[in-house]
Amino acid sequence: MKKLAVVLAVVMFAVPAVAGTLSIVAVPSSVPNGNPGQVDVQFWAEGFSAVGGIEVIPTFTLNGVDVSSSFHFPYIHTMEYPPTPLPFWNTTLWPNVFPFAVGAMIALIDSSGNEPAIESSTWIMTLSYEYAHLSPGTYMIGLDPASGGLMNSQGPVPDQTWVSGSFSVVPEPATLTLLGFGLLGLAGYARRRNRA
């Protein structure tokens, strides 16, 4: 019987804890360029035993180049409570959240000390970023290394994996039409030149 207990103890402590995941989701996933617009950056978590808040500095890149300056989070200019009307956070998960911003960092801390488990995929919060004009391409949304991510009473939750989000910027139909006519014109010109 003692051998079985020793084996069970070794198995329990030798198996590494399953790391949780903090995922970033962009909504909408595709936007037209050329006009001012907005992209919602959602944060979802799964597989954590205790979470009492979140601390993030979102970054935006296009083809590996940091273009974060093209995106503006307009609703927290100073430390204010509540930050109206954004961010939106999961009030069921954290009914007593204190939100604040320091520079580009946006944080939510549950003032009650409540640290619930997040087992299945759960929406944490949404930040809405505005932009004036975006070039076509696929934009990646990640987190600056200075971000804490999900937090508990000891600081950043250990063993968390961050999964970047993305969204595409596509040319508007009028732009595509002009491009098509331009290509047809070039093809006709090349054909006429070859005949001469």
pLDDT tens digits, 6-40: 333 332 333 334 479 999 999 999 998 878 999 99
Tell me if 37 is assigned to some domain. Answer: yes
How many contiguous H segments (helices) and E segments (strands) does the chain have? 2, 15
Q: In what order do the strands lie in the sheet with 137-143?
A: 30-32, 165-170, 137-143, 58-62, 65-66
- Greater pLDDT, 111 or 177: 111
- Per-residue model confidence (pLDDT) at position 184: 61
143/159 Cα distance (integer angstroms): 16
Question: What's the mean pLDDT in 52-56?
Answer: 95
pLDDT band of residue 195 (cuts 50, 70, 90) is: low
Q: What is the CATH number of the domain that holds 109?
A: 2.60.40.680
Number of structural domains the chain divides into: 1
Structure tokens at 188: 């006709």
pLDDT exceeds cutoff 50 at 113: yes
Phi, psi of 106 (to 5 degrees): -120, 130
Question: What's the mean pLDDT in 162-187?
Answer: 69
What would the pLDDT profile of 124-133 be if each residue is shown by its tens digit? 999 989 999 9
Tell me if 161 is assigned to some domain. Answer: yes
Tell me if 88 is assigned to some domain. Answer: yes
Tell me if 185 is assigned to some domain. Answer: yes
pLDDT exceeds cutoff 50 at 164: yes
Tell me if 8 is assigned to some domain. Answer: no
User: What is the average pLDDT score of the chain?
Assistant: 80
Query: What residue numbers bound the domain in which 65 lies?
Result: 17-195
pTM for the full predicted model: 0.76
116/91 Cα distance (integer angstroms): 12
Tell me if 91 is assigned to some domain. Answer: yes
pLDDT exceeds cutoff 90 at 53: yes
